[in-house]
Structure 1
Amino acid sequence: MVQKVLNTFLNGVWPEKKDMIFKRGMMGIIWLCIGWSVLLSSASYAESKDLPSSKLEKVTLQLKWLHQFQFAGYYAAQKEGYYQAEGLDVDIRQRDLHENNIQQVLDHKAQYGVSDSILLLYQAKKAPVVIVAPIFQHSPQVLFTLASSGLDSPYKLKNKKIALYQKDTDGFSVLAMLHEVGVFPTIERTIKSDTGMLVQNQVDAYSGYLTNEAYLFRENNIPISVINPINYGVDLYGDMLFTSQKEVSEHPERVEKMRRASLKGWQYAMKHKAEMARYIQSHYGVNKSFKHLMYEANAIEDAMSLSTTPIGTLDEGRLQFIANLFQRHGLINNKVNLKDGIYRSSQKTIEFTPEEKKWMNQHPVINLAIDRSYAPVEFVDEEGRFSGIAKDLFQVIQHKTGIQFKPATDLSWPEAVEKMKQKKLDVFSAVIETEARKEYVNFTVPYFKFPMAIATRENAPYIADSKQLKGKVICVVKDYASHAKLKRFYPDLSLLLVDNPKQGIEAVANGKAYGYVDNVAVIGHHIKNSGLANVKISGEMPFRADIAIAIRDDWPELHSIIQKVLQQISSETYADISNRWLQVSYQKQYNWQQMTIVLAPILLLLGVFAFFNRKLRQTQIKLQETNKQLSILSVTDHLTGVYNRQYLDQRLDSEVERVNRYGSTFSVIMMDLDNFKKVNDQFGHLVGDEVLVVFAQTVEKEIRKIDIFGRWGGEEFILICPETPLAHAIQLAKKVRKSIEDQEYPEKITQTVSLGVAEYQTDEVINDCLNRADQNLYKAKQLGRNQVCPAMKVE
């Protein structure tokens, strides 16, 4: 009976996959028959936005203005099901211009609201307002003047007339700037935006936003001057998500869910600005043009400081500075106590002991020992700022503990190591565990796991066995973990010591060393950014490069504190950090122009004899190129140019062996182009082939350098993700899915892809992992195609 029903379904809905599905056996039948009931109880189904509303907690989010891109993150959290996945039914309300939006939250007419640094005024008045998360790191509020007026400074506004909002709560940045410079113009109150007041010379200056009114002036060709409070020492937080003390005390878990989903929504919105602009137009009746919304989106990106600051980052010291600024100029009368005015999620989810809390109060500042040249893990950028994976992670730790971490950016790595030994520095922010270091520091669990790799020149063979390094000069950074491990496991190896990874990569490129050993992420970063086309990653070493935090051994309390925080950080946060820094790609061709520049002077100096050498060189190059092409053809798919099934099988076996031997993980992502048979039937196989090529090229642009991507067969592809747990692979799969959906294809074809994800389990048969990915791929198909279906871990 089940088979009869299944036959009918497959013939009517999915005929081209009928035979393939039956070959999947009884497991496939079970999924088709009972899949929906299983999915109803799964977390992934909660994200599909179909959870019954009766089971969701109803809350209201009160916006500070009318619907526009300014609130795109909250719309995205609702649209993408992030609120629903947290069990929330959020009613997003635009501003009633006759109401005080902050008071609405205090009066419990809404549980959450959006406002800016004016919240400090309420806290000074002892109002039970709690800041949950800043969204805009800088306020986009400014003053506009006509360029022809010459009023390009707040000092020129004395006795002038400015248009300001009806309530001071909506113009606090401007008021703070005017108080800071000691200028008090005449204020003309207006309840809504009307740039005509400035154009018609009704006022001398107009308060507005770089995200909004600036566009209107530009589109109407009205030359303006912008007076920005930031340029006069008033750098306030812009929009912040806030709530009430009542909500925090009675529903702490709900506050955390609201914060988590909202930040996730903002991450989505800023990665899909065009999509969200169209969504806002169609769902919220906004009368702004698409072009205007995109202008607003780009201006908001600047206000959020996305390139340097994770969304939701709150610097308590900066907030206190703003409060002191307001108090100094009489904008607030009482001192602001931020202790109860900031939501600290760590206190709701991490249970610190009384001893640990006491220790944190006694040690508000911790000095970090960092490596200035270990990009992308950690480094000091051109402007002298601490950057990289470790920096982003310590921002999270700082937010969850309240401890300030101060990096020693002026020390070399050997100097930082010596300071740690002397206990003049407190914490290694990113190190690999070694026996020598264990004598004076305690290590946390690793927060990122990488293979230790070796880089060689382009013409070197793949290094399958470290015995191939015998007799070779190997370069390594002095005092790095790689240095210690090479000395321990290969005492007879000839080592060339350098001061930093850049020198190591250059030594290989210049032929001073055969290979350079380091963390695979560090090697990949330096190859990508050095412009050296003759260096590649040629293999992995039989020891790992797992990055951890190390704390001086006389501070066990701090070790316990940081360990608790690391274990509490979500997989999504780890994925966001890694994706921000580990997007690297291989250079796929030689830099022949650079090669010509090198060879030309030599040929000129050799004169007549160079003719014969040149002929010989050309012959050698042709032979090498022929061998290279033959090697490439043996492992690549002839149509798409990505790896073929034979090579993918080899790499899967290698990954299984590596994981089972050294302990780690990897994930696989199975991909199948949706309705591809219709493309071939309607447009022909030549067009179908073009679509496959564009598809493969699009995926290759999105994946990381360590990933292995290839064609599994027909319109089915596979992505092997080394050192990647399930949660990270799902994030990568979602990114690929979106890129495929947005890509333009021949004949204006709309093409999407379904993806199934699975994580390899130690010592299992690789086919079991592939089957899980395959089953999830077809679950994604059954759920409507164009989506990612994660695999369930084996118990």
Structure 2
Amino acid sequence: MLIKKLIILFLLIVINLSAQTNNKVTLYLDWVHQFQFAGYYVAKEKGYYNELALDVDIKEINDNSDNLKDIMTQDASYGVGKSSLIVDKFNGNDLVLLSSIYQSSPLVLISLKESNIKNPRDLKNKRVMITNDAVTSASINSMIISQGIKLDEIIIQNHSFNINDLINKKTDAMACFLSNEAYILDKKNIEYNILNPDDYSFDFYEGILYTSQKELLNNPSRVQNFNKASLKGWEYAFNNIEETAKLIHEKYNTQNKSLDSLIYEGNILKKLSKIEKGKLGEINPKTIDEIKRFYNFLGLNKQNTNFDTNSIILNKMNILLNENELKYLENNHFTLLVEDNNIPFVFKLTNKLSGIEIDFWNLISQKLSKPLNIEETMNDTMFSIFSDSIKTKFVYGFEKKNKPDYLLSEPIAQIPIVLVTKNDKNFIADLFALEKIKIGVVKNLEIISTLQKEYPNIDFVEIQNINDAILQLEQNKIFALIDNLYTVSHKIDKDNLNGIKINTLLNHKINIYLEVAQKNSPFLNILNSAINRFSQEEKNTILNNYQFIFYPKNIDFLFIGKILIPFILLLAIFIYFNFKLQKEITKRKEIELQLSELANKDSLTNIFNRRRIEELCETELIRNKRYKGNLSIIFFDINSFKIINDSLGHHLGDEVLLRISDIIGKNIRNTDSLGRWGGDEFLIVLPQTNLSQSKNIISHLEKQLSQIEFSKSITVTCSFGIATCEEDDTLDSLLKRADESMYLEKTKLKESRKN
């Protein structure tokens, strides 16, 4: 017997060592150790990688590093990179982006305040330290070019990476990280200006975690697990900046940074991660498309290639199985063993099995697109009539404890633990307030030893099941009982236990696992792949379906009911029909308003659309002919609008349309009407206005438009055309003259620019 146990122990050690070898992972950083990579250090030191069977080696960059080549050619290799990974993809590297830690790049241009460099236009003929790598400096270069400055109009210096060169005025501006060099200037009380590409809508991701498509294809679970553990590390790092900074200072400090500088760096980077907005790790396909367009515009896509954006972004909700796992899933049958009459976990409703376990098992089946069996069993073994099937069952525990021959899945969900008392007991906020009393703990919770350590002054007694515990509570043999929320609430409901109540929730929660025989460990990996793809909404939906909580009071509801129910019913009917009528009236008014808005307003600018402004112009034309007054219209468009859209993006084009519509609308009379004719063309209808007055209005509008500041500091002008109504004018003839007048002004503008 002893020899048999030793053999089993030896085999377990060998299997464990083999698993560790198979899951050794290398992470290549794109710079030396600093807070910029804090989440990966935390995931390693806190054991988040180890929990998912990952042994991670973190390597900082060195002179001989070729991270991209190593990641593309080696197994189990991951990297941290910049938005320039898009250029690497253009160049034929088959990579996949997992998560972007920083939603905006910390790379900016810094100048001394006394240099008076406040915007990119001030860089003309100035010395600027930017790296020679056009790809790395793409966001800064894009910002400069967008403001009408050519790169050859700047004196570009080799980057020394020494902030003292800026302080000693050996350069006028320097490309720096917000999280690093700014700290040094603050410490020296040196005032400075920042030119941030993000302020000019050049949003470049930074700190992108990536790997090869080969790694994703061959080891999808490892990729998902590495990404998941890394994000968990980042979440902890940003929520515990000082603790994380101390870890880096003591263990990952090859630059010998001070603790204060690391804390400063952490606070800046936390803002750039946008973790508080729930965007940690997010990669938006639209942003990737914008980055692709910027690189194309800068001529960095030398291969002139393209790719589907979604093909390089990891879909974190997809279940990805490798070829062996897919074959294993296809070639085997799988059975869940359940015990009936365990409300609300498993029970029969109209001869059909229902409950929390059934719903989670069906969700796994749905995620795997594989029909899965369910079988009732009368004992606590893995015996099944499905002899050729791989078996599993649900188990519950406070922590993951594998048995010698069985393994547990990742936690599926958590169940609250509650304290139950009679109705006459007051609310108990904290068990520490209780002393020398007896509390029953249902045996299958396996929590009694934990409670005894936490509350040594309470007499906890183990009770076989919930039925015995409630009986002892009713007979005052125990002061309270402890069990899981769902079992207790359903027991109260089923047996009409009006004399007891759920008094309070404890801080403890029990985990739901699936148990699989060790010999079926490949199935466990597949189960974990499905479980890790459960959304919180899916978990909540299942659990909330079975959560019935009652807080009964010692009140004679029957007596009260006989008096109040008829009155309440009548009142409820009246309120219901009145509410329904009011709701219908409100709904109709809202629909009418929405229809009116849709019919008359332009969806982008919220001014009149073409159909409505045309109607208004026709009405004023009829009115003018009847009363022999004055009527003028102004037709105008935005100069070089196509160039703005094509070179700087539709997001800026939309901004231009919105701002101009807003300024024009605020600077015309209440009796005037403004509408969008189409594209970048607009029409203003001016009742009781002659030619001279119309010209004054145009002068006023041009002055107001010249004062608009757009996000990329571009200058936007408009060309205006006027037409004053004549006796025989129709709408078409009036509009035609206004259009011709506008294009005459546009021609004059072009000729003046040539001269």
**TM tier, shorter chain?**
0.3 to 0.5
Q: What TM-score do the two structures reach when normalised by structure 2?
A: 0.44
Higher Cα radius of gyration: 2
Q: What TM-score do the two structures reach when normalised by structure 1?
A: 0.42
Larger relative CO (CA 8 A, sep 6+): 1 or 2?
2
